[in-house]
Amino acid sequence: MQPLKYLSGYPEEVQHRVRTLLDQDRLGTILSEKYGEAHAVRNDRQLYEYTVQMKDRYLRKAEPLNKVVYDGKLHVVKHALGTHTTVSRVQGSRLKASREIRIASVFRDAPAEFLKMIVVHELAHLKESDHNKSFYQLCMHMAPDYHQLEFDLRLYLTQLEMGARPQGD
Ligand SMILES: [Zn+2]
């Protein structure tokens, strides 16, 4: 039996239910009914604008973002779904911190809610580097249904990897 790598932290009972939906070829349909809305954030410039808008709305006081890009080489599972880095560069005599967010390119074609979820996740890391209680409080400040979105994103990634292609695709 192939492991469900995006759901490895969840109870066996949950994984079993997901396997059943995959076997019955129902997971894709359930997800597309729930998350039918696409987004129009197609390139890095649009992704930067989208992220800065959300930051200005919820985390105005956090340090400014220098760069936000889609990254085709990013493996979603490695660091729970995205990366956030602080690159220090020496500029003249000053050390300037450059905040950078990379979003796995699978999100370019993912439903709108999942892009929102991953951007919320990465923005929360501007203030909290660990996945601790205050980190998740920040996430829920920006997206009240954050936990449901993260779980459903894991289902979506599982479906992408292990599910059958939707008919007519
Ligand atoms: Zn994280």
pLDDT over 50 (residue 168)? no
Q: Which structural domain range is residue 126 located in?
A: 15-162
Question: Exposure of 47 by Cβ count < 10 A (0-12 exposed, 13-18 middle, 19+ buried)?
Answer: buried
Q: Classify residue 32: in a domain, yes or no.
A: yes
Q: Tens digits of per-residue pLDDT, 30-49?
A: 999 999 999 999 999 999 99
Q: Which of 130, 1, 5, 107 is nearest to 50 (CA)?
A: 107
Q: Tens digits of per-residue pLDDT, 105-161?
A: 989 999 999 999 999 999 998 888 888 899 999 999 999 999 999 999 999 999 998
CA 169 to centroid of ligand 1, rounded, Å: 32
Q: Classify residue 135: in a domain, yes or no.
A: yes
Least confident window among 7-16, 51-60, 78-87: 78-87
The answer to whether 74 and 82 have CB atoms below 8 angstroms apart is yes
Number of domains in the chain: 1
- Chain centroid to CA 99: how far? 17
Q: Classify residue 35: in a domain, yes or no.
A: yes
Q: Classify residue 167: in a domain, yes or no.
A: no
Q: Classify residue 66: in a domain, yes or no.
A: yes
Q: Classify residue 61: in a domain, yes or no.
A: yes
Q: Classify residue 70: in a domain, yes or no.
A: yes
Higher pLDDT, 5 or 123: 123
CA 52 to centroid of ligand 1, rounded, Å: 18
Q: Classify residue 31: in a domain, yes or no.
A: yes
pLDDT score, position 93: 47
- Chain centroid to CA 78: how far? 12
CA 97 to centroid of ligand 1, rounded, Å: 19
Q: What Rg do the C-alpha atoms of the chain give, in angstroms?
A: 17
Whole-number percent of the chain with pLDDT over 90: 57
**Residues that place a CB less than 5 A from ion ligand 1:** 80
Tokens of 36: 């039918």
pLDDT over 50 (residue 64)? yes
Mean pLDDT to the nearest integer, 94-113? 82
